[in-house]
Amino acid sequence: MRQAVMQGVFAMLIAAPALGNEIAVKAPPAAAGLDRFDWRGFYVGSHFSHLTGDSNWAAAQGPSGTIGLFDMFDAFRGSGSYALGLQGGYNFVLPSGWLLGVEADIVTPNLIHGSQSFALPQDGTREYQTRTVLSGTVRGRLGYEVHGWLPYATAGFAWSYDRLHWNNPAADQQETALLWRLGWAAGAGVEVPLAPAWSARVEYLASGFGKDAVDFPAAGQRVQSDLMLHSLRLGLNYRIGEDLGKSDIFTRGVDAIELDRFAFHGQTTFTWQYALPFRSPYRGTNSLAPNQARQTWDTTLYIGTKLWEGAEAWVNPEIDQGYGLSGTFGVAAFPSAESYKVGSDYPYARLTRYFVRQTIDLGEATETISGSPNQFAGKQSPDRVVITTGKFSVGDIFDVNRYAHDPRVDFLNWGLVDATTFDYAADAWAFTYGGAVEWYTGAWTVRAGLFDLPATPNSTNLDPSFSQFQLVGEIERRYNVFGRPGKVMVTGFLNRARLGRFDEAVRQGQITGTTPSIDLVRRYTSKTGVSANLEQQLTDDIGMFARAGFSSPNLETNAFTDADRTLSAGLSISGRLWGRADDTFGLGGLVHNISASRIAYLDAGGMTAIIGDGRLPNPGSERVIEAYYSLPVYSWRLTADYQYIANPAYNRDRGPVSVIATRLHTQF
């Protein structure tokens, strides 16, 4: 299965050059034709790569070896030896037709890693590990266009930033050393036009680094090692032109590719948040810390192809970096849905989605659909069946609200973009495997889904046996009130998983005289919940949303956050009311609470995946007010955001907290 998934990703990307003779829907009309593609000038792009390599190492006191750097793709961990990179360069075309160019890139691996165990005389087993954190190159290119294709050779400088470990497993001791490497890169590839401003390429690149040394003082070891990497890259480039001053890429943005059977979109989002100083008489392991700032950054590619009538496949490789406030701890309605439950100082690659969608029209296709990320342009019937299978987010299909659901463009708080009691199936990055069926008929839609739950609650790994699963059902009713559209949805879920009960954890802690731990009382059981979701257009410029929900009060959270009852509502207001039609102002509020059993667990010092101040003598409802203002800045959207959080982690002793944020987002 793992090999099949990776082969499917590569096959879809490799198929792109064959589409070069199609007409791009959004291509600039001035382009004369792909047979006269202009390679000259600046370009930017991205690539997806499959990597392998090795590292020869030798310690000063005897041990040595060779480490293979390759990890098979693990579908339920999302890990493997793949990477996503960004590149940019400049091409100069000679009158003879030869192309001379220079290109620089940065590569964000998912996992380029290896380890080797060995025995030291009279000292037991040790382990040496190496991992490439980031890498990149600066290279020249030499090519010649042949019938529209551009074969080329490339060579230049390479760099790598590695993390090395010397481990003593018996004593659970580990030393870490960081190492910058400089070396060479060489390879060859072929590039072909896709659309008037776009080209696709496939490239092989080898990167070699000579021996460098690091010290592990506690172990008394100095280790020398080299590094060799091989990568097969599949990429896309967007031509800017020879004169950056005349380009509109900075003001209008990038044109998406939308061909007859292939589409390519992208987005990038940067957020920065700061929690102002607040009252904090005590603090626990999972407490929100006052007076701190954190940032996150992500870039996502949306690559799609049409398979057969009504069917399309999409792959979303993504680069992630950064942390939530306090490492995404301390507030149940966490203030940034752009923050995952895992964080990283350095950017890394993930395959967030890869899925197939089949649409079966039950009537005449009269509704026009605009092309967008994970959606081809076209027509569909109002009455239809839609089947989605693969890896994606439950929130892509369920509990959707046009005014409060996308933290990249509207509200940031977890409790305003989703119902906090909707404990939807997900890994720590909010994605999972499963399938959903949607039946649209008249003013009604009925949805049902089956999804894989994490192996342990709130973990990075999904259950490979699928023995822990979630059933989701949703009924949607669309209507008009005085000519204004609205809809109401009711969503219910059933989780079958190994979960702990808070009352049992407290009793066990009392019996053993220890701090209660939910991890120690898990057993296979059922968790249920239901929520309602309302959206209503009030005027041409004002929309309203509201959610309410509850879930099983004595069971821990599978994958989302700590909440047993929730209520939220708010408004989205267009700036057209004050003469700025492209601006948006949002205002929302949330109140949610937890059960007496969860309060007792937290008061006894227990921790959950999100909250835990070490005690909870004065519990209260967690309450949030969020306001944001979003405006366009050329091809970007800039957002200022403020959140007021009362009783963070349901603790009246701490806070209230004021959180300010800014967000910068663009997509094509």
Q: What pLDDT score does 31 carry?
A: 37
In angstroms, rounded to a whole number, what is the distance separating the alpha carbons of residues 131 and 448? 42
Looking at per-residue pLDDT, the higher value among 413 and 167 belongs to 413
| CA distances for 654 relative to 273, 622, 647, angstroms | 19, 11, 6
User: Given pLDDT bands bounded at 50, 70 and 90, which one contains residue 12?
Assistant: very low
Mind listing the pLDDT tens digit for each residue in 245-297? 888 888 888 999 999 999 999 999 999 999 999 999 999 999 999 999 999 99
Mind listing the pLDDT tens digit for each residue in 490-541? 999 999 999 999 999 999 999 999 999 999 999 999 999 999 999 999 999 9
The label of the residue with tokens 């989002």 reads: 269
**Poorest-pLDDT segment among 32-46, 191-205, 622-636:** 32-46
Is the confidence at residue 11, as pLDDT, over 50?
Answer: no
Is the confidence at residue 664, as pLDDT, over 90?
Answer: yes
In angstroms, rounded to a whole number, what is the distance separating the alpha carbons of residues 356 and 8? 11
**Poorest-pLDDT segment among 40-44, 144-148, 559-563:** 144-148
**Poorest-pLDDT segment among 21-25, 147-151, 214-218:** 21-25
* Mean pLDDT value across residues 463-470: 97
Q: What pLDDT score does 249 carry?
A: 87
Q: What pLDDT score does 243 carry?
A: 87
Per the prediction, the chain carries an average pLDDT of 93
Sign of CA dihedral 232, 234, 240, 242: positive
> Which of 178, 163, 57 minimizes the C-alpha distance to 116?
57
Joined together, the tokens standing for residue 343 give 């964080």
Is the confidence at residue 440, as pLDDT, over 50?
Answer: yes
Whether residue 129 contacts residue 140, with contact meaning beta carbons closer than 8 Å, is answered with: no
* Mean pLDDT value across residues 73-88: 96
Q: What pLDDT score does 137 carry?
A: 98
Mind listing the pLDDT tens digit for each residue in 572-607? 999 999 999 999 999 999 999 999 999 999 999 999
In angstroms, rounded to a whole number, what is the distance separating the alpha carbons of residues 651 and 620? 6
Is the confidence at residue 115, as pLDDT, over 90?
Answer: yes
- Amino acid identity of 364? E
Q: What pLDDT score does 25 carry?
A: 34
In angstroms, rounded to a whole number, what is the distance separating the alpha carbons of residues 133 and 82? 12
In angstroms, rounded to a whole number, what is the distance separating the alpha carbons of residues 39 and 146? 13
In angstroms, rounded to a whole number, what is the distance separating the alpha carbons of residues 80 and 555? 33
The pTM of this model reads 0.92
In 338-431, at which residue ranges do the beta strands (DSSP E only) sit? 344-361, 367-369, 378-380, 384-392
Is the confidence at residue 2, as pLDDT, over 60?
Answer: no
β-strands 584-593, 565-574 pairing:
antiparallel
| CA distances for 566 relative to 145, 396, 561, angstroms | 62, 21, 12
Mind listing the pLDDT tens digit for each residue in 231-250? 999 999 999 999 888 888 88
Is the confidence at residue 30, as pLDDT, over 50?
Answer: no
Q: What is the DSSP string of 539-607?
A: SSSEEEEEEEEEE-TTB--SSS-S-SEEEEEEEEEEGGGGT-TT-EEEEEEEEEE--HHHHHHHHTT--
Is the confidence at residue 14, as pLDDT, over 80?
Answer: no
Mind listing the pLDDT tens digit for each residue in 624-644? 999 999 999 999 999 999 999
Joined together, the tokens standing for residue 609 give 């995946």
**Poorest-pLDDT segment among 9-23, 359-373, 422-436, 487-501:** 9-23
DSSP code of residue 256: P
User: Given pLDDT bands bounded at 50, 70 and 90, which one contains residue 33?
Assistant: very low
The percentage of residues in the chain with a pLDDT greater than 70, rounded to a whole number, is: 94
